[in-house]
Amino acid sequence: MARGLGPGQNGEHLSFCRLCEALCGLTVEVRDGRIVKVGPDRDHPVSEGHMCVKGARMVDVVHDPDRVLHPLRRTGGPGEFERVSWDEALDDIAARLTAIVAEHGGEAVSAYLGNPASFATMHPAYMNGFLKALGADKKFNSMHTDTGAKNLVLELTYGNPYRYTFPDLEDCDFLIVIGGNPAVSHMSLISEPRALQKLDAIAARGGIVVVDPRRTETARRYEHLAVRPDSDVWLLAMLLRTVFEEGLFDPAALDARAHGWRELRDAVTAVPFALAAERCGVSEQAARELARRFAGARTAACYTRLGTGRGSFSTLTNLMIEALNIVTGRLGQQGGWVIGQAPIELFKVNANPYGTRRSRIGDLPLVLGITPGGSLADEITTPGKGQLRALFCDSGNPVLSYPRGDRLEAALDQLDLMVSFDLYVTETTRWSHYVLPSTTFFERADLNELWGANAPRPWVQYAPPVLDPQGEARGEYEIYAAILQRMGLPSPLAMLGSPANPDPTPIEAADALLRHGPWGGEDGLSVAKLSAEHPHGLRYMDRVDAAATFDLVHYADRKARLWGDVQAAEFARLSDAGARPDGMRLFGRRRLQSLNSWMHNSERLTRGDLFSLQVHPDDARRFGIEDGAPVRVTSAANALIVMAEVTDDVMPGSVCYPHGWGHRGGGWQRANAIGGANINLLASDDPADWEQVSGMCLLDGIPVTLEPA
């Protein structure tokens, strides 16, 4: 294994994948300036030779003939571009931005930051720095389709929205997985590339129950408990009620760790089992049984992801999941429910406490100071102070990933300036005045500096660039810095500068934080040391320190809060809900070979069954729908025609279709030809239809009707 290869040099480079939280170690073979093979790094201290097909096919993205490799300027309608030089593009962007800020103020400028940026060093930090330098007060990202309810719940329960709780998989004997499909998604929000191996071991020691409306790849592997879409809140109420009623907890221990459990106990005890069982489709007996197994296990954790995050009670559901872990003594238990330790502490202070700001559209309380992404179109089209006139779209595709891309497209067309940083002309970026070619992660250096906080076996790795930027691509930081420099403004990471280095690059800023972090100091962690001595990555601690979880509870008394105004109001709202409304509910799924709305231009990743509307045989009979035949799906927002797949993998009363398809008008030719539907056209972009506590869009459990088309 050659070490210290420079970018583009022939040989086998060491790197890591930045497509999902698993962050698998990779070997990347370069010949004549091109990547010829991406393989697993068998010597990586945590992934130990694990990777998936997406990591291997990044080569199709890096060398995709449809990739944007030069700055593009709009010449006409959407998607009509000409090639321009970087100087022409940056000069014009800076001039137009200066004029917009002068006329309308910084609040007319904003940015949308997409999912891939979560894996790039300091990316959210320097985008914030860019917006701050301009005086912008709004930012958008993928949070309102993803983690928003969880972030809010972390803030309410522990006082810090940035520090995630997760299961300590190593010693866990019993795991409940609610609304997550780790066999496909690789255990989202947890960095454990060998998650499935860990889950198999948990199942062998005790058990794993997968609560999901679909018999997923994970549910098949372990035990499946079918639940109706958007009804988990009722199941959680039954689980907690059982724990309290049957005394499956230690009140003295709980008093030492949490406030508010008596109020919570009274609230769940007021939820009738019969009503809850009818709402979620899980019987009282099955719920009680699950609660007993959970509380009775030596060690246990209840883990959740997207399936509970985008429903009509997403905050209350996630609050009760934290509560279930806390009440049963799982918080801070080795093999239980923990908060981890990163080598960099970036978010000591919450600059935007929940509720201190509200959105201009829909008057919703902001979580983390992020404006609800579902309102992006209305933020552009609604006149008044703060109306958006300039938008930077960085590493995101909100036309496909958020509700009502059709309305968003029309709004984007009204912007005075839209600038996108992407690898492709996409459904979103085609509306830009400029598309600026960005580097892939193989063309930039990164540190996985923050993900150690979410790892049962924490590690840190520095990956140097494998290739030089392809074509004229540039890193996003460089582009932001060049725009600000032209405007005479400080660079986007100036706030992390020091007298010795007032203007650090992202890696330099991360390095300084690493050197001053808990594993820093003389002879401690630094980029130089990782690069020279630990090219495969370094496990800076053998295991997450479960007991240290309590030190990371942000409240001064280190106790969790199980009750407050939000809980009281949400339980009151729950008690007003009557019997289950009739009708079909739509929810989503993911596929191993696909990543959200991209990687669909790779031939190898787009073979076989890509999308279908999964319908239960009973519903198919009821609505006259045949396997493989077109079906019209109608929601309050829209109607779409898609192909049906009749299968009892989904529960009666629910239908399932993946998001991120329906490509058209972008530069990715194979993706365009594949077809499929943009399922988010059926979701609502009216704030009144979202969960009002967190501003999360309703993406799972959308009421729909079906008919043959």
Applying CB under 6 A, the residues found at the interface with ligand SF4 are 17, 19-20, 22-24, 51-52, 54-55, 186, 193
Give the interface segment with ligand MGD, choosing from 79-87, 184-192, 539-547, 685-693 (CB under 6 A): 184-192
Task: Retrieve residue 570's tokens.
Answer: 């949400």
Q: Which does 281 bind (CB under 5 to 8 A by kind): ligand MGD, ligand SF4, Mo ion, none?
A: none
Contact between 232 and ligand MGD by CB under 6 A: the answer reads yes
**At CB < 8 A and 24+ separation, what contacts does 83-92 make?**
86/472, 86/474, 86/482, 89/434, 89/436, 90/479, 90/482, 90/483, 90/486, 91/486, 92/434
x-marked contacts with ligand MGD along 391-430 as a string, rule CB under 6 A: ---xxxxx--x-------------------xxxx-x----
Neighbours of 102 (CB within 10 A): 8
From the number of C-beta atoms within 10 Å of its C-beta (0-12, 13-18, 19+), residue 305 rates as buried
Give the DSSP letter of residue 364. P
Query: Cα angle at 151 between 145 and 154, to 5 degrees?
Result: 150
Q: Which does 22 bind (CB under 5 to 8 A by kind): ligand MGD, ligand SF4, Mo ion, none?
A: ligand SF4
Give the interface segment with ligand MGD, choosing from 3-11, 160-168, 284-292, 304-312 (CB under 6 A): 304-312
Give the CA count within 13 Å in the CB-facing half-sphere of 125: 21
Order of strands, sheet of 34-40, starting from the edge strand that comes earlier in the sequence: 11-16, 25-31, 34-40
Nearer to ligand MGD, 396 or 465 (CB): 396
Interface of this chain with ligand MGD, residues 616 to 675, rule: CB under 6 A: 659-660
Residue among 88, 305, 101 at smallest CA distance from 218 = 305
Task: Retrieve residue 424's tokens.
Answer: 């492709």
Contact between 700 and Mo ion by CB under 5 A: the answer reads no
- The amino acid sitting at 330 is R
Q: Is the dihedral of CA 311, 312, 318, 324 positive or negative?
A: negative
Per-residue buried b or exposed e for 135-173, using 16+ beta carbons within 10 Å of the residue's own CB? ebbbbbbbbbbbbbbbbbbbbbbbbbbbbbbbbbbbbbb
How many residues in the shown chain lie near Mo ion by CB under 5 A?
1
Among 15, 165, 491, 596, the residue binding ligand MGD under the rule CB under 6 A is 596
Residues paired with residue 34 on neighbouring β-strands, in sequence order: 31
Neighbours of 16 (CB within 10 A): 28
x-marked contacts with Mo ion along 142-181 as a string, rule CB under 5 A: ----x-----------------------------------
Nearer to ligand MGD, 19 or 101 (CB): 19
CB 112 within 8 A of CB 408: no
Nearer to ligand MGD, 159 or 179 (CB): 179
Shortest Cβ 24–ligand SF4 spacing (Å): 3
Among 55, 71, 148, 229, the residue binding ligand MGD under the rule CB under 6 A is 229
Give the interface segment with Mo ion, choosing from 141-149, 175-183, 414-422, 504-512 (CB under 5 A): 141-149
Q: Which residues contact 268 (CB under 8 A, 6 or more apart)?
A: 237, 240, 241, 244, 320
Among 41, 60, 137, 146, the residue binding ligand MGD under the rule CB under 6 A is 146
Q: Which residues contact 69 (CB under 8 A, 6 or more apart)?
A: 437, 470, 471, 472, 473
Among 116, 329, 362, 653, the residue binding ligand MGD under the rule CB under 6 A is 116
Q: Which does 55 bind (CB under 5 to 8 A by kind): Mo ion, ligand MGD, ligand SF4, none?
A: ligand SF4
Give the CA count within 13 Å in the CB-facing half-sphere of 687: 21
Contact between 20 and ligand MGD by CB under 6 A: the answer reads yes
Nearer to ligand MGD, 307 or 452 (CB): 307
Contact between 21 and Mo ion by CB under 5 A: the answer reads no
Nearer to ligand MGD, 128 or 333 (CB): 128
Q: Which residues contact 689 (CB under 8 A, 6 or more apart)?
A: 636, 698
Q: Which does 706 bind (CB under 5 to 8 A by kind): ligand SF4, Mo ion, ligand MGD, none?
A: none
Task: Retrieve residue 23's tokens.
Answer: 């962050």
Q: Which does 427 bind (CB under 5 to 8 A by kind): ligand SF4, ligand MGD, Mo ion, none?
A: none
* Sites of contact with ligand MGD (CB under 6 A): 20, 114-116, 142, 145-146, 178-182, 184-186, 188, 211-214, 216, 227, 229-230, 232, 305-308, 311, 394-398, 401, 421-424, 426, 438, 440-441, 476, 587-590, 592, 594-598, 659-660, 679-680, 699-701
* Sites of contact with Mo ion (CB under 5 A): 146
